[in-house]
């Protein structure tokens, strides 16, 4: 007997027929004698619809961005998961399985107070372990918990992955299966590169980079938790026949295992390509070149909760003025410009230029630590396709390149092929 946490994403629970299919996956594990907890997302598209309603309802007159109360945002957007958890519990009951739905506050899944992007702080596993003891399948609403203010808090978009891994860690599950609409983690998003290949295994560190750099197959925080708590996490498909051979394999189910680096025998130099669209570039021209300027620019942006990403500063020619370029999500551009305008005097710059519709394309691989020339290969390949590079940032295991968003697909496919990722 094993203890398994199964998470099903939005497309997997998009309607009642799919929820029935999910229930068959659950039944397979229950019939095999395992203890099972299930985490569900809202039906596909539901959370987007709820977010749009919140924005519409809270649009401030005359403002070009929404100001909304994050606690009420959470009250609204957490509702999608309440529906699917109840529906799956009902479906399981109709199949003769002892199942019950639970909301985040009932477990409770305790979070911090950062409404809209809360972090899980504590889950007392004993509540669920008691349910296992009663032979119950607990169906838990993902994406939500309860904050110190005693209100529902949501975990940021894609947060049900994090709910699942956190629960798996709390109950010391043998496995956490993230069921989605693809059958594993691929070398790049299979939606934009059909030649992408499924990886049998990927290291925690690489998955962390892939997720942070745009591969939304797993929420970043879920990978962090899996890494810290050593949760054996698989990404696999809910669309495969639940009773096909091998689906119930305990140690090696079909899909991609996220694991420690040393479990991966054949290490490639480059493991994957990720991309993030909808980045905006902001350049401050002729900024005073003196200590405290960067703090003066990025401090107020951080206080306004704006996520600044790539930062490039030139060395000034004469030590008096320099240029500073950085990126923010396009949706935050208006807010960022307003913040910069307010601190213009204190920072001391002459001109702000901005551009939306940028994309960041990244090459990821732990093999880069010990291989030279990976970046040069990317630059050459992109230049041969006439793609202009606007900014570059690197770390030990990744290279990120900012380009015009119109070239995203071309850049991803070019990089995917130049590192041989489309070959077996």
Binding interface with ligand ASP (CB under 6 A): 9-10, 41-42, 47, 80, 142-143, 157-161
Considering the complex, what minimum distance in angstroms separates the CB of residue 190 from ligand ADP? 6
Min separation Cβ 158 and ligand ASP, Å: 5
Taking CB under 6 A as the rule, does residue 189 contact ligand ADP?
Answer: yes
Spatial separation of the C-alpha atoms in residues 350 and 323, rounded to whole Å: 10
Cβ neighbours of residue 220 under 8 Å, at least 6 residues apart? 208, 211, 212
Residue with Cβ nearer ligand ADP (81 or 189): 189
Residue with smaller CB distance to Mg ion, 157 or 198? 157
**Is 210 or 310 the residue whose CB approaches ligand ADP more closely?**
210
Residues sharing a CB contact under 8 Å with residue 255, sequence separation 6 or more, in sequence order:
177, 183, 184, 234, 235, 236, 237
Select the binding partner of residue 181 from ligand ADP, Mg ion, ligand ASP, none (C-beta < 5 to 8 A, by kind): ligand ADP
Q: Does 412 bind ligand ADP (CB under 6 A)?
A: no
C-alpha to C-alpha distance for 415 and 273, rounded to whole angstroms: 7
* Shorter beta-carbon distance to Mg ion: residue 9 or 104: 9
> According to CB under 6 A, which one of 146, 185, 223, 347 is a site residue for ligand ADP?
185
Instruction: CB nearer to Mg ion: give 158 or 365.
Output: 158
Tokens of 20: 């029935």
Under 8 Å between Cβ of 399 and 392:
yes
Q: What is the total count of residues that contact ligand ADP (CB under 6 A)?
A: 20
116 binds, among ligand ASP, Mg ion, ligand ADP, none (CB under 5 to 8 A by kind): none
- The answer to whether 364 and 271 have CB atoms below 8 angstroms apart is yes
Closer CB to ligand ADP, residue 237 or residue 316?
A: 237
Q: What angle, rounded to 10 degrees, do the helices at 204-212 and 220-229 form?
A: 160
Site for ligand ADP contains 158 (CB under 6 A): yes
Q: Which is nearer to ligand ADP, 182 or 418 (CB)?
A: 182
- Told to check if 215 binds ligand ADP by CB under 6 A, we report yes
By the rule CB under 6 A, 182 interacts with ligand ADP: yes
Residues facing 396 on adjacent strands: none
Written as six digits, the tokens of 229 are: 């708590």
Pick one of Mg ion, ligand ASP, ligand ADP, none as the site partner of residue 142 (Cβ within 5 to 8 A by kind).
ligand ASP
Tell whether residue 278 is a contact of ligand ADP (CB under 6 A).
no
Residue nearest to ligand ADP (CB): 9
Query: Rounded to whole angstroms, what are the CA distances from 414 to 75, 192, 210, 383, 403?
Result: 43, 12, 17, 10, 13
- Choose one: 54-62, 120-128, 137-145, 211-219; the region binding ligand ADP (CB under 6 A): 211-219
Tell how strand 109-111 and strand 120-123 pair up. Answer: antiparallel
CB of 212 to ligand ASP, least distance (A): 16
Q: Does 154 sit near ligand ADP (CB under 6 A)?
A: no
Q: Centre a 10 Å sphere on the Cβ of residue 356 and count the other Cβ atoms it contains.
A: 12
Which of 178, 162, 173 has the alpha carbon at shortest distance from 230?
Answer: 173
Least distance from Mg ion to the Cβ atom of residue 113, Å: 24
Torsion angles phi and psi, residue 147, rounded to 5: -85, 170
Exposed, middle or buried: residue 151 (CB in 10 Å: 0-12, 13-18, 19+)?
Answer: middle
| Site residues (vs ligand ADP, CB under 6 A) | 9-12, 41, 158, 180-182, 185-186, 188-191, 210, 215-217, 272
């Amino acid at each position: 007997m094993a203890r398994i946490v199964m998470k099903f994403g939005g497309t997997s629970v998009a309607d009642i027929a799919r929820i029935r299919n999910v229930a068959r996956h659950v039944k397979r594990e229950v019939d095999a004698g395992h203890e099972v907890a299930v985490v569900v997302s809202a039906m596909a598209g539901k959370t987007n619809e709820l977010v749009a309603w919140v924005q519409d309802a809270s649009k401030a007159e005359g403002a070009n961005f929404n100001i909304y109360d994050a606690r009420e945002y959470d009250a609204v957007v957490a509702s999608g998961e309440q529906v699917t958890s109840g529906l799956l519990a009902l479906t399981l009951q109709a199949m003769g399985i002892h199942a019950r739905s639970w909301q985040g506050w009932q477990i409770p899944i305790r979070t911090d107070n950062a409404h809209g992007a809360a972090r899980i702080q504590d889950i007392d596993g004993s509540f669920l372990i008691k349910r296992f003891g009663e032979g119950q399948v607990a169906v838990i609403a993902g994406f939500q918990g309860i904050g110190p203010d005693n209100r529902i808090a949501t975990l940021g978009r894609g947060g049900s992955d994090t709910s699942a891994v956190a629960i798996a860690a709390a109950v010391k599950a043998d496995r956490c299966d993230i069921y989605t609409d693809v059958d594993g983690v691929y070398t790049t998003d299979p939606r934009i590169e059909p030649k992408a290949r499924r990886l049998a295994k990927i290291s925690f560190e690489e998955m962390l980079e892939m997720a942070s750099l745009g591969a939304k197959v797993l929420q970043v925080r879920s990978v962090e938790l899996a890494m810290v708590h050593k949760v054996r996490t698989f990404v696999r498909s809910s669309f495969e026949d639940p009773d096909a051979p091998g689906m119930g394999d305990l140690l090696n189910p079909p899909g991609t295992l996220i694991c420690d680096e040393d479990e991966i025998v054949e290490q490639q130099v480059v493991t994957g390509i990720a991309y993030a669209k909808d980045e905006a570039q902001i350049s401050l021209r002729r900024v005073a070149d003196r200590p405290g300027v960067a703090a003066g620019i990025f401090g107020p942006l951080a206080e306004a909760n704006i996520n600044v990403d790539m930062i490039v500063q030139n060395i000034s020619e004469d030590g008096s003025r320099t240029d500073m370029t950085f990126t923010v999500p396009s949706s935050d551009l208006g807010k960022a410009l307003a913040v910069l305008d307010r601190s213009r005097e204190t920072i001391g710059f002459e001109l702000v230029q901005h551009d939306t519709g940028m994309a960041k394309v990244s090459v990821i691989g732990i093999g880069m630590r010990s291989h030279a020339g990976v970046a040069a290969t990317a630059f050459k390949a992109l230049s041969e396709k006439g793609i202009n590079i606007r900014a570059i940032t690197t770390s030990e295991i990744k290279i990120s390149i900012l380009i015009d968003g119109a070239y995203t697909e071309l850049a991803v496919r070019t990089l995917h092929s130049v590192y041989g990722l489309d070959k077996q």
